[in-house]
Amino acid sequence: MEITRCSAGFLVIGSGVAGLSAAIEASRYEEVLLITKKNLKDSATQHAQGGIAVPLGKRDSSDLHFQDTIKAGAGLCNPAAVRTLVKDGPQEIFRLIEWGAQFDKKGSSYDLGREAAHSRSRVIHASGDATGQEVERTLLEKLSTIKNCQVQENIFLLDFIVSDGKCSHVLAYDEKAKNILVIEAKAVLLASGGMGQIYGITTNPEISTGDGIASAYRCGAELTDLEFVQFHPTALYLENQQIGKPLFLISEALRGEGAILRNSSGYAFMADYDKRKELAPRDVVTRAIFREMEKTGCSFVYLDISPIENFAGRFPNIRERCKKSGIKLSKKMIPVELAAHYMMGGVKTDLWGHTSIPGLFAAGEVACTGVQGANRLASNSLLEGLVFGTRMAQAAKKYIKNSGKPKSKIKVSYAVQNPERLKKLDKKLMEIRASLQSVMWSRVGIIRSEASLTEALEDIRTLKGALEKIVEVPVIYTPYLELRNMIEVSELIAGAALQRTESRGSHFRSDFPKENDKVWKRHILISK
């Protein structure tokens, strides 16, 4: 296998909202190389339905948006990061609009939706429930006009190379050319997305295998808040759903428009759990649904859409998907289930995307900026990607002015094996992957305990040993590389969850069901 060397001013990894925002901003200063795992459009961004939280209403303000975000974060948000988000957010949205983004309006004003834990209607949306697609379209069209940004698709991130204490090179694999790439960069901007595929039931696309988090950990970068994984309360339930296949998201905006959660007997149960009912924070709604499914022995609940006026016009994509899936909307009931959705933790950064490794920056779901705390406020994720993707590019510009030329001798420590031999391992790799997803869902999921987490760590380490037994040294083979990263991230998450002996936000311990501010109003930091 050939080794190809190339260089870039800025190297951006990932083509979601954070990566695209970073690449566009960075191109103002120097040449950019953007690499992405599959194709440019294949990211979690396009699946975002609900919208973007931004205080544009007459009775709204950045202060109220700040307060709602802090409250949802259960005491672990970084106030300075949240203030940055709500202050810079509107200008990022106006820039999107300037670039051609079309958000829904009522007359001359933007149609602002309401979602859980928001004190005001402040969520802008596009084509009813296709906000992520519109954001992605706008950013990609803008990127296409930029001459000094080169894009390479189907590039798998292998490792970050640190020399003289700085991230100077990236090791990657070109899946089409079958080459190993050694990319020298003045600054590396990581925006590779999340890790939802470690769970068997998830809304995340199949590419979300935690590659960025695992690679950052291996190079010594500091990680934080990994125990806080958000589970979405309403993913479309289908019988015989294949494990690991992403579930279609039923936007929280439906509950904002008045949809009611009912158990399999038709009982509207949310009032039994929280006075805010369907508009309680996601972690509260998720655990309420979990308890109802336990009580009824049913693997789903219903979302009653009868209170929503003009459902077909407001949520055309959801309507179409339900129709294709054979769900009769004449009954006004959509079956929904719980699914892993978003990682609040990740690679620890400051307000400008600096990680603990000079030269390596991070933004988006792979990063932990401090905005989300222990529980992400609905519709803050796209906004965070826009704001902090731009900011990390600006910080990288300042960094490269003062950074010297890195060393160029790079050792490639991956074995190259016969592809046909590796394909014979597919069945075993798939078995280990499915076992891992099952362990994470059942033991490191919505309700956790010392017993479940201890068992999970034992099982994860057994699976890690099984993988090492069939692949003795790291090899260039995508199914193996993804699984290695998934196991690494899973072990880190389970370990952090075992360490936090309290319940806070999305992290709920049945053996420690209450918050413990005295001991745990702090962050767990992890580094290799």
Helix %, strand %, coil % of the chain (to 5) = 40, 20, 40
> HSE on the CB side for 260, CA within 13 Å?
12
> CB within 8 A of 109, min separation 6: which ones?
none
Beta-strand runs (E) in 378-483: none
Amino acid code (one letter) for 174? D
Are the beta carbons of 6 and 183 closer than 8 angstroms?
yes
Number of C-beta neighbours around residue 386 at 10 A: 29
Q: How far apart are CA 33 and CA 10, in angstroms?
A: 6
Distances (CA, A) of 25 to 14, 387, 395, 464: 14, 11, 11, 40
Amino acid code (one letter) for 1? M
Which phi-psi region, left, alpha or beta, contains residue 379 (left: φ > 0; alpha: ψ -120 to 50)? Answer: left
Q: How far apart are CA 66 and CA 448, in angstroms?
A: 30
Give the residue among 79, 60, 61, 56 at the shortest CA–CA distance from 69. Answer: 79
Q: How is residue 131 annotated by DSSP?
A: H
Which phi-psi region, left, alpha or beta, contains residue 44 (left: φ > 0; alpha: ψ -120 to 50)? Answer: alpha
Beta strands 346-348; 367-368: pairing state: parallel
- Residues known to be catalytic: 282
- Dihedral sign of CA atoms 190, 192, 198, 199 in order: positive
Q: How far apart are CA 140 and CA 128, in angstroms?
A: 21
Are the beta carbons of 485 and 156 closer than 8 angstroms?
no
Q: How is residue 247 annotated by DSSP?
A: P
Q: How far apart are CA 144 and CA 62, in angstroms?
A: 32
> CB within 8 A of 32, min separation 6: which ones?
8, 9, 10, 11, 12, 23, 26, 146, 148, 149, 150
Q: How far apart are CA 293 and CA 299, in angstroms?
A: 6
- List beta partners, residue 6: 183
